Amino acid sequence: MEAVIINTAGGLTGGDRMDWSVVAGPGTRIDVTTQACEKIYKASAGTAEITTKIQVGANARVDWLPQETILFDRSSLYRRLDVDLDEGAEFLAVEAVLLGRKAMGEAVVSGFFRDRWRIRKEGRLCHAEDLRLAGEVQALTREQAVLSGQVAFATLLYVGPQAESYLNAVRPLLDGHMGGASCWAGKLVVRLAASDGFALRKILIPIISALRNGAPVPKVWNL
């Protein structure tokens, strides 16, 4: 099955809250994506919050494939992803972020963005990460150890028995691009950065397909 999430508000700003919940029963598979990019607008006060909870039953698989999140200048967002995996379950997550729309001449000079992931397998924590960009975001992301001036970035995570074989499929796709892939303890993590959203998506689409055993991305993702 494929589920397409629709945000009828068309975007979020300070004080908005959104909660998503996905449950895949034992032995099932579901791909979850979004109708369009999520836009986070300038916040006059408060912080927008997005919470996603995903439960994957025994021997089931969930592919969490939302389209990019676009942060506008002086936006404020706290995003959380909590996933519980039962025995034999597989999970693929893709989260991409654009710091403004380069083609529109936009830039994120300042703002706040925090992204918190907690992935548990059979009740035990198997992956955790926290990203935080705050204050003078443009100056921070120009640092070589951060994004080296790139304004589009993504994290892909796969947890499941095919992590090692997926690594061999993904690494050749990273040649010539800013990014890397690592595999350990039954999980695969890919980090990417690019000059703009279009360049990032051109890299993302073949990597997502490789992590789906050659299956294409959802139709709403098409370039």
What residue type is 184 in one-letter code?
Answer: W
pLDDT of residue 9: 85
pLDDT of residue 27: 97
pLDDT of residue 106: 86
Q: Is the dihedral of CA 151, 196, 211, 82 positive or negative?
A: positive
**pLDDT mean values, one per 10 residues, the chain (223 residues):** 91 95 97 96 95 98 97 97 98 96 86 98 97 96 94 97 96 95 96 95 96 94 74
pLDDT of residue 189: 98
Residue 63: closest CA among 200, 156, 129: 156
pLDDT of residue 51: 97
pLDDT of residue 223: 59
Contact predicate 115/130, CB 8 Å = yes
Contact predicate 44/74, CB 8 Å = no
42 DSSP 8-state letter: B
Distance of alpha carbon 144 from alpha carbon 130, whole angstroms: 19
pTM above 0.85, yes or no: yes
Q: Which DSSP helix (H) or strand (E) runs through 125?
A: strand 124-135
Burial of 5 (0-12, 13-18, 19+ CB in 10 A): middle
Angle, alpha carbons 207-211-212 (nearest 5°): 115
DSSP 68-108: PEEEPTTBEEEEEEEEEE-TT-EEEEEEEEEES-GGGT---
Token representation of residue 123: 């009740």
Residue 198: closest CA among 105, 102, 113: 102
